Amino acid sequence: MPLTFEILATDGEARRGRLITPHGVVETPAFMPVGTLGAVKGVTPQELEAAGASILLSNLYHLALRPGIDTVERLGGLHAFAGWRRPILTDSGGFQVWSLGGLRTVDVDGVTFRSHLDGSALRFTPEGVVSLQERMGVDVAMVLDECTTWPVERAAAAASWERTLEWARRARAAWQGGPGGLFGIVQGSVYPDLRERAAREVAALDFDGYAIGGVAVGEPLAERRAVVEWTAPALPADRPRYLMGVGYPADILHAVASGVDLFDCVLPARNARHGVLFTRRGTLKIKNARFKDDPLPLDEECGCPACARTSRAFLHHLFRCGELTAAVLATLHNVRYYLDFMAEIRQAIGLGALTDRLARRTTGEDSPEGPDLEVLPVSSDPREQRSN
């Protein structure tokens, strides 16, 4: 087996695990920072390691457009190309192709789309997508799926699932064995029976892990959480479970409590670039004038490069001046915040204390600074959590 997954402890449905890959071990539940093109925006590979990232997510779709998979392969695979030595998971491109809307056409054999860059035509097939990811040498490859939009009629969601299941079968058959593992993806929109059937059917194909796709595409928070609650427990207990593209810390905590092990989201990095910073006491909109003279670090319990050296006032200053270092320091902070949050989650599961220890933290209710800190809603438009 190219991938090994061990469960070390449980706390209700939550699992504390360990995913062993060709490029190292991922302690789960884990958050995968998003390096669409091979690097988290503004962050060196060394800094990302120092922040505690054990696995990076990249996007097949974007890499296929630029620089092209031939180039990545010639340069020794994605790890050598990007200078990242720990595990890598690549998304198959299903979500990105879905995002193209009118620029793509889906048929029974795959999807043809036009590059969002130059309009040139490309085609992804279930077999081709598997092969491209194997050629890049990633630790976890994803099958090609059709990500249903929201809202979608039940009949359309069911028909879409039939196609995605057939693609999953073809991907499984085309898989040459690695170097890494291959994950299947469950779709089914917000229909519980579809999701449960999809989980059962994809599990029968014996993938190395299973993802919950088709969430964070515009549906309300309650719908998204219901999908996770139905689907995660229906997936094989002995394989890692990955919730694609989610989300805010409260969303992650909820999903962990439902039995999910892996997460990715652009939120920490993208919010950072906009000056929205996560802290243990709430979310700071650092450009606000109230931070002009604030000598405190962004978060007094954080060990990121920004918090180790500078203040809210300095970050405020750098953002107000439009300095590049603002985005760099803010991204290092937010990514570190997410990774520290996952470490706390893992510790809490080991202690059987997940709910007690972390529930209040993610709502900001325990903030002693009250209205001085802006606490953003934990459930703003989920579409924001996925778009690049």
CA distance 303 to 80: 28
Q: Which of 111, 243, 318, 349 binds a second copy (CB under 8 A)?
A: 318
* Residue labelled with tokens 């993938």: 207
Q: How far is it, in rounded angstroms, from Cα 302 to Cα 325?
A: 18
| 295 near a second copy, rule: CB under 8 A | yes
> Shortest distance, CB of residue 248 to a second copy, whole angstroms?
23
Size of the site for a second copy (CB under 8 A): 46
C-alpha angle 93-53-178 in degrees, rounded to nearest 5: 50
Determine which residue in the list 41, 225, 239, 361 makes contact with a second copy, applying CB under 8 A.
Answer: 41
Order the strands of the 4-11 sheet from edge to edge. 4-11, 14-21, 24-28
Among 17, 29, 33, 45, binds a second copy (CB under 8 A): 45
Contact of 249 with 3, CB cutoff 8 Å: no
Instruction: Tell me the three state secondary structure of residue 58.
Output: strand
- What DSSP string describes 283-316? EEETTSGGGTT--S-S-TT--SHHHHH--HHHHH
Which residue, among 310, 317, 309, 304, has the nearest Cα to 278 in the 3D structure? 304
Amino acid in the structure at residue 383: R
300 interacts with a second copy by CB under 8 A:
no
Our finding on whether 293 is near a second copy (CB under 8 A) is: yes
As given in the structure block, the two tokens for residue 161 are 């699932």
Asked if residue 32 binds a second copy (CB under 8 A), the reply is no
Compute CA 10 distance to the chain's CA centroid, rounded to the nearest angstrom. Answer: 22
CB of 230 or CB of 319, closer to a second copy: 319
Q: Does 330 bind a second copy (CB under 8 A)?
A: no
Please confirm, yes or no, whether 91 is among the known catalytic residues.
yes
321 is an interface residue for a second copy by CB under 8 A: yes
When asked if residue 81 is in the footprint of a second copy (CB under 8 A), the reply is yes
Q: Does 114 interact with a second copy (rule: CB under 8 A)?
A: no
Spatial CA neighbour of 248 closest among 230, 228, 263: 263
Is the Cβ–Cβ distance between 224 and 250 less than 8 Å? no
**Residue 303 binds to a second copy (criterion: CB under 8 A):** no
Query: Which residue among 11, 145, 261, 264 is the active-site one?
Result: 264
Site string for a second copy, 244-283 (x = CB under 8 A): -----------------------------x----------
Q: Applying CB under 8 A, which of residues 323, 365, 366, 381 lies at the interface with a second copy?
A: 323
Decide whether 163 or 316 has the Cβ nearer to a second copy: 316
Is 293 marked active-site?
no
Which of 285, 317 has the CB closer to a second copy?
317
> Which of 380, 354, 353, 377 has its CA nearest to residue 364?
377
Using CB under 8 A, which residues numbered 199 to 228 contact a second copy? none
Q: Does 46 bind a second copy (CB under 8 A)?
A: yes
- Using CA atoms, how far residue 179 sits from 69, 107, 133, in Å, is 16, 29, 10
Compute the radius of gyration of the chain from its Cα atoms.
20
Distance (Å, whole) CA 260 – CA 349 = 12
* Closer residue to a second copy, CB minimum distance, 143 or 318: 318
The smaller minimum CB distance to a second copy, of residues 99 and 189, is found at 99
Q: Which is nearer to a second copy, 51 or 141 (CB)?
A: 51
Q: What is the token pair recorded at 36? A: 């669409």
Name which position in 7, 20, 25, 39 contacts a second copy (CB under 8 A). Answer: 39
Q: Which of 71, 105, 176, 380 binds a second copy (CB under 8 A)?
A: 71
Of the candidates 76, 220, 303, 377, which one interacts with a second copy according to CB under 8 A?
Answer: 76
The C-alpha atoms of residue 348 and residue 191 are separated, in whole angstroms, by: 32
Question: Does residue 37 belong to the site contacting a second copy (CB under 8 A)?
Answer: yes
Stretch that binds a second copy, among 18-26, 66-74, 146-154, 356-364 (CB under 8 A): 66-74
Query: What are the start-end ranges of the H helices in 52-209?
Result: 60-65, 69-74, 78-82, 94-99, 126-136, 154-174, 192-203
Catalogue the active-site residues: 91, 264
Instruction: Point out which residues bind a second copy (CB under 8 A).
Output: 37-47, 66-67, 71, 74-76, 80-84, 273, 292-293, 295, 305-306, 308-311, 313-314, 316-318, 320-321, 323-325, 327-329, 332
